[in-house]
Each structure stands twice: as C-alpha cells, then as structure tokens.
C-alpha cells in the first residue's frame, strides 16, 4: 500500500495511515514532505509495535511502516503514577500561556510558578499537554519555564506539544523541549490518565 | 544540602517590580515557601553567588521585601531570616 501525503498538513498523514492500518494492513509506505509528519508517523508505528524505516528523497520523506511481531507498546509512564480504574497518573493540560483569566502579568507569573512547583513535586505528572497559546511556553524564551520543563522531562514526565498550534503561531522551529504531537496522542494521554488537571 | 536565598514580599506588586529589577541575575520565580508564609505569594530565589548583587540592588531600589537563607535537604527545609519584616 502506498499513500502520497505530500502537501498534506498535520494531522492528515497520520489520519490516512491510521485508516489503512485499522483495516489490518501489515505494511504501508507513506510519502510526506515534512519532518513533523515523519515523527508523528514514527510514534504511530511505535504504539502499534511496528518497525519504521525512513528514506529521504528529494526533500520528501518515504516512511515505511512494517509489522514487527513485537507487541504494541503499552503506556510507558516512568513517572510515579497512581492507577485507578479510570487510568494511571495524571495529565496536566495547558491550553494557554497564563494561569486563569485576568491581568496578563500576574497570569504569566502564576504559570511560571505552577510549572516550577510541578517540577519540584515528588509526584510529577505522567504528561504535560500543550495546546493553543500554551505552546508558547515550551517554544518561548523564558529560561525558567524551559528549565522546569526539562526537569519534569528528566523525572519521567512526557511533554507533548500540539503541532498544529506551533505551526499556527509560527513556532515550529523554536520548540525547545517536548515532542511535536497531534490531537490523537494528546487526547489519548487524557483518556488514559487517572485525572486531568487544566491550568 | 542545597542552599539558596529567597526574597519574599509584602505584596505581589513589589514582587513583580523586583523581578524586573533583578532580571539580569536570572532569579527563579517561585511560590513563597509554606515554611515562611501560609498566604499565597510570589518569591524570588537567588543563587548564593548572585546574592550580594541582588541584595545591594534591592536595598537601593526594592520595596517591601524580606530576605531568607534557605537550606534544603530532601523534603526538609530550614529557613533563616536575614533581613526585612517577617511575613504574616
């Protein structure tokens, strides 16, 4: 099976691949024109226990997904994570670059302190999910935020950053920490967490 | 044992003003430690090597601040008051 996804923006290449894999396909080649699509497809392959081979051809990327026989990857949370019947650990959703509503200066400081406090916590979140203007934090110039996010990542917190949002704000190249992600993965982290905290 | 210095403030506005005053010293903005005050507050954490410069500048231009020396070993935190009013 061969899919031409050149010119298709995130998350279309993943949607197209997922649709075919859901039909039970064991092997799939998809050609894309950007690295973010390659990363997203690689993660899709990982979650399904498939091997992935990437070949660069004239500025495009040919991504081969092949069934490896390995079991599909289950949640790889290394962060301390309490499990309940609804899921494991907790996810923190950050949909804007300030905490709450009100004066921006205060909101920015509250966000800085919230991320700092999370990074020093004994129980770090299983995942930190950035969307909309929240993506300005991992792609921004505030060293304290980047340091705290790095500390969280070192403690096992997974940092997912919405690729559509980075693209919208023209920040894709400026991302300093975290993985460029998509709606599927971000929602999946929320669904598999025992609770989701929105800042 | 980790140690650092912490400026606490009588008001959030003083804290934000000090943040700008000390910006080139890269202070870490953090919530005021529970050991110092139970109320919500913004504090500025300063590395020992930056303390001299930070204190001089605060003495010249800062308002409504207190300074603590913090010693942290795991979860154990010891705060030594150095200067200024003790927060309520």
Choose the most confident range, by mean pLDDT, from A22-26, A76-80, A97-101, A120-124. Answer: A97-101
Contact state of A113 with B42 under an 8 Å Cβ cutoff: yes
Domain count, chain B: 1
- Dist CA A143 CA A150 (whole Å): 10
**Looking at chain A, which residues constitute the CATH 3.30.110.40 domain(s)?**
2-67
At residue A49, the pLDDT reads: 82
Query: Does some domain include residue B64?
Result: yes
Q: What percent of chain B has pLDDT over 90?
A: 74
pLDDT tier, A35 (very low <50, low <70, confident <90, very high otherwise): confident
CATH number at residue B69: 3.30.70
Whether residue B77 lies inside any domain: the answer is yes
Subunit contact A106:B12, Cβ cutoff 8 A: yes
**CATH class, A83-198 region:** alpha beta
Token pair, residue A74, equals 């289950």
Q: How far is B83 from chain A (nearest CA, A)?
A: 24
Domain at A2-67, CATH from 3.30.110.40, 3.90.1150.200, 1.10.3720.10, 3.20.20.20: 3.30.110.40
How would residue A79 be classed by pLDDT, with cut points 50, 70 and 90?
very low
- Residue A87 contacts residue A193 (beta carbons within 8 Å): yes
User: For A122-159, how does the pLDDT look when each residue is reduced to its tens digit (9 = 90+)?
Assistant: 899 999 999 999 999 999 999 999 999 999 999 999 99
Please check whether residue B88 lies inside any domain of the structure: no
Give the A:B interface size as CB pairs under 8 Å: 24
Q: Name every residue in B having a CB less than 8 A away from some CB of A.
A: 12, 15-16, 19, 26, 28-31, 42, 75
pLDDT band for position A195 (cuts 50, 70, 90):
very high
CATH 3.40.1260.10 in chain A, residue ranges: 83-198
Instruction: Tell me the chain B residues in contact with residue A116 when contact means C-beta distances shorter than 8 Å.
Output: 28-31
**Going by C-beta distance under 8 Å and a sequence separation of 6 or more, which residues neighbour residue B51?**
B5
């Amino acid at each position: 099976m061969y899919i031409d996804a050149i010119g298709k923006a995130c998350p279309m290449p993943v949607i197209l691949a997922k649709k075919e894999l859901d039909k039970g396909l064991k092997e799939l080649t998809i050609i894309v024109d950007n690295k973010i699509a390659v990363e997203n497809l690689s993660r899709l392959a990982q979650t399904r226990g498939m091997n992935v081979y990437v070949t660069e051809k004239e500025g495009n990327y040919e991504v081969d997904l092949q069934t490896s026989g390995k079991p599909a990857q289950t949640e790889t949370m290394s962060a301390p994570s309490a499990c309940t019947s609804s899921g494991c650990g907790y996810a923190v959703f950050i949909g804007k670059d300030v905490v709450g509503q009100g004066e921006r200066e205060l909101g920015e400081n509250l966000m800085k302190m919230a991320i700092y406090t999370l990074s020093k916590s004994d129980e770090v979140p299983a995942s930190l999910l950035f969307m909309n203007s929240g993506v300005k934090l991992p792609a921004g110039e505030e060293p304290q935020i980047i340091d705290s996010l790095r500390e969280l990542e070192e403690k096992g917190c997974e940092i997912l950053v919405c690729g559509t949002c980075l693209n919208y704000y023209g920040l894709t190249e400026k991302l300093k920490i975290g993985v460029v992600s998509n709606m599927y993965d971000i929602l999946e982290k929320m669904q598999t967490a025992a609770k989701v905290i929105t800042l | 044992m980790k140690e650092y210095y912490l400026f606490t403030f009588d008001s959030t506005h003083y804290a934000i003003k000090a943040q700008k005053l000390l910006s080139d010293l890269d202070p870490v903005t953090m919530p005021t430690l529970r050991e110092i005050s139970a109320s919500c507050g913004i504090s500025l954490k300063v590395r020992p090597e930056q303390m001299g410069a930070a204190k001089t500048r605060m003495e010249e231009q800062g308002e409504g601040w207190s300074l603590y020396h913090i010693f942290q070993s795991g979860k154990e935190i010891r705060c030594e008051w150095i200067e200024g009013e003790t927060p309520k």
